[in-house]
Structure 1
Amino acid sequence: MDNHNLNVRKLTLWQVIIVGIAYMTPMTVFDTFGIVSDVTSGRVPLAYIFALVAMLLTAFSYARLSQQTERPGSAYTYTAESCGTAAGFFVGWCSLLDYILLPLINALLAGIYLNALMPAIPYAVWVFIAAGLVTLVNCFRIHILANLSLLFVFVPLIMLVIFIYLVIHGISSNGYEHVLTLTPLFNGDSSIVPLITGASILCFSFLGFDAVTTLSHETHNPKKTIPRAVMLTTLIGGVIFISASWFIQLYFPDNSRFKDPEAALPEIALYVGGALFQAVFLVGQIMNTAASGLASHASAARLIHIMGRDGIFHKGIFGAFNHKLGTPLYSVLTIGLISMTAMFLDLSTVVNLISFGALIAFTAVNFSVFMKFYVQDKQRAGFKYFALNLCLPFLSVLSIVAMWVNLESSALHFGGAWLALGIVLFIYKKLRKQSIVLSNA
């Protein structure tokens, strides 16, 4: 291990968790509430519980594999080491679609929110400013990003606490029995399929546990810290999502009060706290988007850097590390340029692309646990190893299959096209490598 890696390894457990929580965007519960409430017939908290259970199973697979290596790279690295470099390439390529589009979405959302607050400044200008500032922060050492993420996560969480207080205050005026109820979980509807559909939408709110595994080289004692961060990020994110959705569901048992259920956040804030609270809440949402933008940008840049070091992308550019700044500078700048294309795109188009890469990564990591421990290490004797190395990965894959079934056809089409491009790149690199070998023979 080189001295450069030792010099930049500064992140503590809680700094890594903060980056993961920031990546999750806790306030996204308000953006998706109207959609999932309609799908689940007013049982959003229960859908979040379903999603949390499914994600904890997969997070456990990530945690186990992160104990086996200090190399970052998330699903890409774990699959390459367990199933071979070819499998690792395709998983990394599909995951890359997810990683590079999340910073773009945050730039897009920041542009929408800021343009709503100050419409005199064009949307495209706000996207350029938001993407530019996030890129600038990511050019410097990771501990700066971690500290900023703490601020940008803390303020929205304070807003969330105030929101919960206002909900309790509003509902308790008719008696506390309306607050102390299990109606958000059990409202008389016992159907399961809508809950699975809702959970498949909400599972992508938990992507922060995947992102923290890309920070191994910048984390203190990664074989111990990263597995803990993976599980704690998932659990803390789940508690935040379930708590917030519980009180939103208490106040809005159904979608009848929403003019636009697919963009219910402004209406939720207005009904609960009035116009002033709505404005303040929107500022908190912008900070939440900034936190997610910083974290997702950092993770995407590091995945490109790792794939560059492995020769998948240009090693001299993407595999380079700036020792002075302590960051993979060219990879950071590349993600910044991609994020700025948000000014030409719409949200629905980009969102449809993200789920494909995430599901590929989740499926591959669970299969990698089976390959690593059950097949390669032959840990099969006894119920413990049978359960850990075969049953749990199988249950995880089953939960992900339910999400695949509910994936939109547009995501499959775009994802399939991206995968086809990856196949072309893989064949090109193989042929190029063979030609170099033959020319040197």
Structure 2
Amino acid sequence: MAQRSTLKRSLGLWAIVALGLGYMTPTTVFDTFGIVSGDTFGVVPTAYLVALVVMLFTALSYGKMVRVFSSAGSAYTYTRQTMHPALGFLVGWSALLDYLLLPLVNAVLIRIYLVSLFPSVPSWIWVLAYVGCVTGVNVWSMRSTSRLNTVLVVFASVLIVVFLVLTAKELLAGMGEGTLVSAQPLWHQGVTTPAVLAGTTVVAFSFIGFDAVTMYSEEAKDQRVMPRAILLTVLIGGVIFFLGAWFTQLAFPNGTHFANSDDTLPEIGLLVGGKVFQILFIACAFAATAASGLASHASVSRLLHVMGRNGVLAPKRLFGYIHPKFRTPLFPVLLTGAVSLLAIGPSLELVSSMINFGALIAFTFVNLSVIAHYVVRQRRYKTAPDLLRYLVLPLIGAALTGILWYFLHADALIAGLVWCGIGVVYLAVLTRGFRRPVGSLGIEEAEGEEDQPPRNASSSASWAGTK
């Protein structure tokens, strides 16, 4: 029997962190500043702090689960293994809405940037060229994807540091608040808690990407670095977002400076550093978006591959196939590229409004998976430390995610529910009217993976359904 190809373990800690940061697109803080400043009455840094706290609780849950289940698949794998295969499928299906659409959003952004610079060139040419490059790099190797992503992330980070220095100089010269130390960006008269939470629901999704690093579990050189990679991605991303928001809020205490509050990055660059810096700042945004495109394309192809390998996406022979030379999931990468080509038509607002639903589904069920695995299966609730780690903290993470659910935009909720409905119909067809157990659709895990079965008899029934 021929040996089956597997994903290549080529990623170190900082390569994984860079992929997570690339996915998060650090320049988002400047693009959305005008919108969030209006929503929060001028306390954008506070919104980012609240979002960081919410994400840290969920990041801790991701760290716990990735120690137990080493395969790629993230929330899909964790829910499938700890609760039920059918529920795992629906979580994975919901997360696909987020993962599949983000590469499409990045392609739309690239199209917008390039059309603004070269209006005489048809927009479809830019989409075709960009998607072709990103898809080609992802097919070629994960190491090539990682290296190019790292270069783009470093470039964007350097430009953000230059922005902070220029803004500090302008502040000390009298711009905005005229100081580097002030409580105004955090709280002032007229600010309300509901307003801050409304802003938090917008900026929280800037953090989407820290969870995507779990998709690279099977490509990490050392599986033990994954929990650290998750936390570092959240913390470094959170610091970048907070510092960017802090200095920008000091320089622009209200939104009266901006002619276009929907995308303030170009105007921020112009007002802080002049025309030359504005061009560099737009280039920074372009690099950050391209990095996000590479990382998000790689992530969703891994999720599609794992779901196909498990037999819940058909045909299994295509979704589960690993190219023997490049050691990458060929068909999922090409499929993601094909979906990204839809960026030729839709608007950014239409596509981005649909992303949030899948992310919140994933965050919620990762927190619940910790409780299902450690408390229900392993009964680790008899000591105070275990009770705190495996019950209280995940419950707080789930509750804080619930707050974001409450403020979710109606369009995103409707689109998400329709997508889930399609998933239920697909699952019914795949299981012949739910007469076949989901776990019987394919081999549960790839040969050589380290996922662990439950350690007590009480979970044997649910585990049996996955085998």
**Length-normalised TM-score, structure 2:** 0.90
CA distance in 2, matches of 1:177, 1:34: 20
Aligned-partner residue type, residue 180 of structure 2: V
Of 183-192 and 387-396, more deviation after overlay is shown by: 183-192
Question: What amino acid maps onto 1:196 in structure 2?
Answer: L
Matched, 1:377 2:378: yes
2:159 aligned partner: 159
Corresponding residue number in structure 2 for 1:348:
349
Give the equivalent residue in structure 2 for 1:220. Answer: 221
Matched, 1:325 2:320: no
The 5-angstrom pairing of residues 128-277 of structure 1 reads 128-174=128-174, 178-222=179-223, 224-277=224-277
CA distance in 2 between counterparts of 1:49 and 1:430 reads 44
Deviation at 1:431, TM superposition (A): 0.8
Q: Distance in 1 between matches of 2:178 and 2:282?
A: 31
Partner secondary structure for residue 379 of structure 2: coil
Counterpart of 1:71? 71
Q: Determine the structure 2 residue equivalent to 1:304.
A: 304
8 Å contact from structure 2 (residues 141, 328) kept in 1: yes
Structure 1 residue 188 displacement after superposition: 3.1
The whole-number CA distance in structure 1 between the counterparts of 2:246 and 2:268 is 13
TM-superposed CA distance for 1:201, in Å, is: 1.0
Secondary structure of 2:255 counterpart? coil
Query: Identity across aligned pairs (percent)?
Result: 41
Alignment partner, residue 107 of structure 2: 107
Partner amino acid for 1:282? I
Q: Secondary structure at the match of 1:8?
A: coil
In the alignment, the residues of structure 2 paired with residue 58 and residue 189 of structure 1 have an alpha-carbon distance, to the nearest angstrom, of 31
Q: Distance in 2 between matches of 1:432 and 1:423?
A: 10
Q: CA deviation at 1:334?
A: 0.4
Moved more, 260-269 or 416-425: 260-269
Match of 1:62 in 2: 62
- Give the Cα–Cα distance (whole angstroms) in 2 for the partners of residues 45 and 144 of structure 1: 35
Report the RMSD for the aligned CA atoms in angstroms: 1.7
Aligned to 2:33: 33
Cα distance in 1 for residues equivalent to 2:20 and 2:283: 21
Deviation of 1:99 (Å) = 0.4
Structure 1, residues 172-227: CA drift from partner, whole Å, max 9, x if none?
113996122232113334521111111111111111111100111111121x1111
Structure 2 equivalent of residue 387 of structure 1: 388
Q: What is the Cα deviation at residue 70 of structure 1?
A: 1.1
- Structure 2 residue matching 1:67: 3-state secondary structure: helix
Equivalent residue number for residue 91 of structure 1: 91
Aligned residue type for 1:16: I
Runs of 4+ in 1 over 6 A off after TM superposition: none
TM-score (norm 1): 0.95
- CA distance in 2: counterparts of 1:17 and 1:248, whole angstroms: 25
Measured in 2, the distance between the counterparts of 1:3 and 1:346 equals: 42
Q: Which amino acid aligns with 1:36?
A: V
Q: Does 1:415 align with 2:444?
A: no
Size of the aligned set, in residue pairs, is 434
For residues 434 and 401 of structure 1, the distance between their equivalents in structure 2, rounded to whole angstroms, comes to 33
1: CA distance between counterparts of 2:22 and 2:272?
25
Structure-2 separation of matches of 1:306 and 1:197: 35
CA distance in 2, matches of 1:69, 1:368: 11
Q: 1:336, CA displacement in angstroms?
A: 0.3
Q: Tell me the CA shift for residue 166 of structure 1.
A: 1.2
Give the distance between the partners of 2:149 and 2:94, measured in 1 at CA. 27
> Tell me, what secondary structure is at the counterpart of 1:128?
helix
- State the partner residue of 1:48: 48
1:433 to partner: Cα distance: 8.2
Report deviation, 1:260. Answer: 1.6
1:10-56 alpha-carbon deviations (Å, 9 max, x no partner) = 10011100000000000111111111100111100111000000000
More deviation, 45-54/276-285: 276-285
Which residue of structure 2 lines up, in the alignment, with residue 401 of structure 1?
402
Structure 1 position 127, deviation (Å): 1.3
- State the Cα distance separating 1:128 from its structure 2 match: 1.3
Return the offset for 1:4: 4.4
1:435 is displaced (CA, Å) by: 8.1
Q: Secondary structure at the match of 1:20?
A: helix
